[in-house]
Amino acid sequence: MKIVIAPDSFKESLAAVAVAACIENGFREIFPSAEYVTLPLADGGEGTVDVLLQGLSGQKHFTEVEGPQGKPVSAMWAILDKSPANPKQTALIEIAAASGLDLLTAEERNPLITSTFGTGQLILAAINQGAESIIIGLGGSATNDGGAGIVQALGGRLLTNDGQEIGKGGQALSELASIDLSGVDKRCQDIELIVACDVTNPLCGEQGASHTFGPQKGATKTDVLALDNALSQFATVAQQQDQPDHQHSASYGAAGGTPLGLSLLFNLQIKPGIEMVLDVLQANNVLNGANLVITGEGQMDNQTLQGKTPYGIAKRASLQGIPTIGIAGSLGSEIEDLYTEINCVFGTVRSPQNLPQVLREAEQNLTCTARNIAATLQLGANIVR
């Protein structure tokens, strides 16, 4: 029996590699002789670089850049080794490494002032290292500045009516009147930029970046309206650079609208993060001959259907006729539609607990849940004989 274990991380508690290990340990108690293949995954958010380096050879780099509120942080990124399958010098970057929500305390979260400037500094570091292609994952950002900070870090000038440069952060975009790209690093024109994201939300409107993701980044109801208007202003002014109106473009709401700023500098390609990761790691080959796939993430709910890891791997498994079991730290609302691809889903929390306790016991609870699922499979097989 071949079992493929292909989870995402459990945010704030376990990395994807650790999640896969817990599930394998639980299953091995019941099925010790099974063949286990672990395939830790990510969908463009935190952990994407580490996940890709599992299947590809490359070197990690650490660069000191500005964090989301300007404080210095040491941000990790990577350069892949060239190969016949990957002939270009390719850099891997996560926006979360320099501009991520996890870099701030809950009290510090404020998308009115947080900036993607540090991510722009990472892109510049990759270019200086000889990158010809850059893959950037957009999950886990603390920002809502439309990627304006990236534009500023790479030499663009965002100007007010009187020709002064605006400040950093989402709120400053409300003052934007013109964009001067004459100082942008010329090497950007030759870079192949692949944006990996796990959402399809537009830039503006009720389903856009500010309304959908602003509150989790610290935005109040008043802030959300101001930020949405500011992104709309950015998109309108960006049209002066022969840009389309991206206010309603799919996926432009990712990472607080970061694709908008990137589109001013690069000829970017936007790809679903999980599909990009699955292709790079040759997941179809890994799944070949498997009897069962086990996947999971910290919380599974209706958003899992919007390009998240469990749904992505389950679709691949379904195409090969392989059943999938999902395990989550918690189960949210409206999970019924998950059953179109995932045969069954389980939560790991044993009883009502506060969040710190849940995070502390994540490894124990996950291993126990996996063991119980395996035991149930074994019992079912014995009953139907």
User: Which of 275, 304, 328 is where one domain is finished?
Assistant: 275
**pLDDT > 90? residue 217:** yes
In degrees and rounded to multiples of 5, residue 348 shows phi and psi of -105, -15
Residue 339 lies in domain: 2-41+283-383
Q: What is the pLDDT of residue 306?
A: 73
22 and 120 share one domain: no
On average, the pLDDT of the chain sits at: 92
pLDDT band at 314 (very low <50, low <70, confident <90, very high): very high
364 vs 222, residue with greater confidence = 222
Q: What is the pLDDT of residue 354?
A: 66
User: Which of 221, 246, 275 is where one domain is finished?
Assistant: 275
131 and 251 share one domain: yes
**Cα–Cα distance for residue pair 174/327, rounded to 1 Å:** 43
CA 16 to chain centre: 13
Q: What is the pLDDT of residue 300?
A: 87
182 and 264 share one domain: yes
Q: What is the pLDDT of residue 56?
A: 81
User: Which of 240, 275, 310 is where one domain is finished?
Assistant: 275
Q: What is the pLDDT of residue 285?
A: 94
Yes or no: say if 76 and 103 are a contact pair by the CB < 8 Å rule.
no
| pTM of the predicted protein model | 0.85
241 and 363 share one domain: no
203 vs 333, residue with greater confidence = 203
**pLDDT > 70? residue 352:** no
**Cα–Cα distance for residue pair 259/270, rounded to 1 Å:** 8
Least confident of 28-32, 40-44, 207-211: 40-44
CA 170 to chain centre: 20
pLDDT band at 384 (very low <50, low <70, confident <90, very high): low
Q: What is the pLDDT of residue 262?
A: 98
pLDDT tens digits for 62-117? 999 999 999 999 999 999 988 777 788 999 999 999 999 999 999 999 999 999 99
270 and 374 share one domain: no
**What distances in angstroms separate CA 373 from CA 223, 297, 330, 368, 379, one per listed residue?**
44, 16, 16, 9, 10
Report the CATH number that the domain containing residue 291 is assigned in CATH: 3.40.50.10350
**Cα–Cα distance for residue pair 173/288, rounded to 1 Å:** 49
| Averaged pLDDT, 121-135 | 96
Least confident of 249-258, 274-283, 331-340: 331-340
Yes or no: say if 235 and 245 are a contact pair by the CB < 8 Å rule.
yes
Closest C-alpha among 184, 128, 131, 114 to residue 154: 184
pLDDT tens digits for 269-299? 998 889 989 988 889 999 999 999 999 998 8
Structural domain tally of the chain?
2
Q: For the chain, give the percent of residues with pLDDT over 90.
A: 73
**pLDDT > 70? residue 353:** no
The pairs formed by 350-359 with CB atoms below 8 angstroms and a separation of 24 or more are 358/13, 358/329, 358/330, 359/12, 359/13
**pLDDT > 60? residue 351:** no
Report the CATH number that the domain containing residue 111 is assigned in CATH: 3.90.1510.10
Closest C-alpha among 213, 231, 130 to residue 172: 231
